[in-house]
Amino acid sequence: MARSIDKDGKEQVTTDHLDLPRDLANGLITILMKYIPRDAPETKVSLVVATPKPRLVKLAISPGGVEPFSVVGSRRRAMRYFVKVEIGGVAGVVAPLVGKQPQDTQVWILGGEAPAFLRSQGPTHMGGPVWVIELTSPVWPRAR
């Protein structure tokens, strides 16, 4: 079920059934990303997005290289990933043309025996501002 407000300000309730795939990653994206092999060229998972009519999309997660940071003066390296929303179907073809293609997100993960989320940069919702969410202790090089 999804609730939204139409053009006239009236609440709309949509109830629909989706057949959910085995690779559904709702609520587990950053946890899942901690275990993506660094040498994987691309990892795809499904996600249910809350639009006026709930929709199933794919997230294409690609490595973006290694970036340095430090924690209390100790130098470390984080793996950066790019996360692209693939809408699929006719809507996926039309979305970029009408300005409805979600912006890509970047996520930084510390690998190793105890992988950890470090940082993300991207919108939290369609049309929203770009947010940077990060741990307070890593020190990142200044933006170029």
CA-CA distance, 144 to 103, in Å (whole number)?
Answer: 21
- Assign residue 48 a region: left if phi > 0, alpha if psi is -120 to 50, beta otherwise? beta
Pairing of strands 105-110, 55-71: unpaired
Compute the mean pLDDT over every residue in the chain, rounded to the nearest whole number: 87
Note the Cα 119 to chain centre separation in Å.
Answer: 12
CA-CA distance, 60 to 81, in Å (whole number)?
Answer: 10
- The amino acid that residue 22 corresponds to is R
Averaged over 111-131, what is the pLDDT?
88
- 61-118: per-residue pLDDT in tens? 999 999 999 888 889 999 999 999 999 888 888 888 888 888 899 999 998 888 999 9
pLDDT of residue 144: 60
* pLDDT value at 124 more than 90: no
